[in-house]
């Protein structure tokens, strides 16, 4: 009979060990970084500016914060169609502004497409060595060009030949 009350005490104490989201917010204030599940198995991690509006967003297959050891980690991919839908939800074409340039490069199986607009930069990573063109996206980065947002160096990829857009 002592086992059941002991188990209940351990269970109650265990629930109190991990701080909750409201506890973190009460203690430290608003978060500057959040992760959302935007589709099953796909997350969007958002970093906010001081005005609490998005500055940077990374869309990628779900992965734990602390990665387990994998001697040969498998590549996690997302449906290209789903990524396009998510992009349209987060930064609809009408809010991106005029397209300034687009370009890309490929090195072995890794490919990157860069689309620069007046208000946002979108960098899509893909695997060029997948069996299908429908599931090939590895991650997508969205960088908002707002004065309050931190400038991201290295994403402009100056070595890429930029193709001016006539759109």
Query: Shortest CA distance to 150 belongs to which of 58, 49, 52, 44?
Result: 49
Q: Using the structure block, give the residue that is written with the tokens 């991690």.
A: 45
Per-residue pLDDT for 120 more than 70?
Answer: yes
59-85 residue pLDDT tens: 999 998 888 887 777 778 999 999 999
* DSSP designation for 34: E
Per-residue pLDDT for 90 more than 90?
Answer: yes
Per-residue pLDDT for 5 more than 70?
Answer: no
**Average pLDDT value for residue range 13-33:** 83
Per-residue pLDDT for 161 more than 50?
Answer: no
**Average pLDDT value for residue range 3-23:** 67
The mean pLDDT of the chain is: 84
**What is the spatial distance between Cα 87 and Cα 107, in angstroms, rounded to a whole number?**
24
CB-neighbour burial class of residue 57 (10 A; exposed 0-12, middle 13-18, buried 19+): buried
Domain boundaries, the chain: 31-164
Give the pair of three-digit tokens for residue 90. 């987060």
Q: Which CATH number fits domain 31-164: 1.10.8, 3.30.470, 3.30.160, 1.10.20?
A: 3.30.160
Write down the pTM of the prediction: 0.79
**Percentage of residues of the chain with pLDDT beyond 90:** 53
Show Cβ contacts of residue 154 under 8 Å, excluding neighbours closer than 6 positions.
Answer: none
């Amino acid at each position: 009979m002592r086992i059941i009350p002991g188990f209940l005490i351990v269970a109650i104490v265990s629930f109190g060990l991990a701080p909750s989201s409201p506890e973190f917010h009460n203690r430290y204030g608003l978060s500057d970084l959040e992760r959302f599940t935007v589709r099953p198995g796909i997350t969007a991690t958002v970093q906010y500016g001081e005005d609490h509006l998005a500055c940077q967003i990374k869309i990628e297959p779900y992965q734990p914060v602390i990665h387990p050891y994998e001697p040969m980690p498998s590549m996690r991919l997302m449906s290209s169609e789903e990524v396009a839908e998510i992009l349209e939800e987060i930064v609809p074409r009408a809010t991106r502004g005029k397209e300034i340039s687009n370009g890309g490069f490929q090195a072995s199986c890794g490919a990157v497409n860069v689309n620069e607009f007046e208000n946002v930069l979108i960098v899509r990573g893909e695997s060029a060595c997948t069996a299908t063109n429908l599931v090939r996206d590895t991650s997508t980065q969205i960088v908002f060009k707002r004065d309050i947002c931190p400038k991201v160096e290295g994403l402009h990829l100056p070595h890429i030949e930029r193709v001016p857009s006539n759109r």
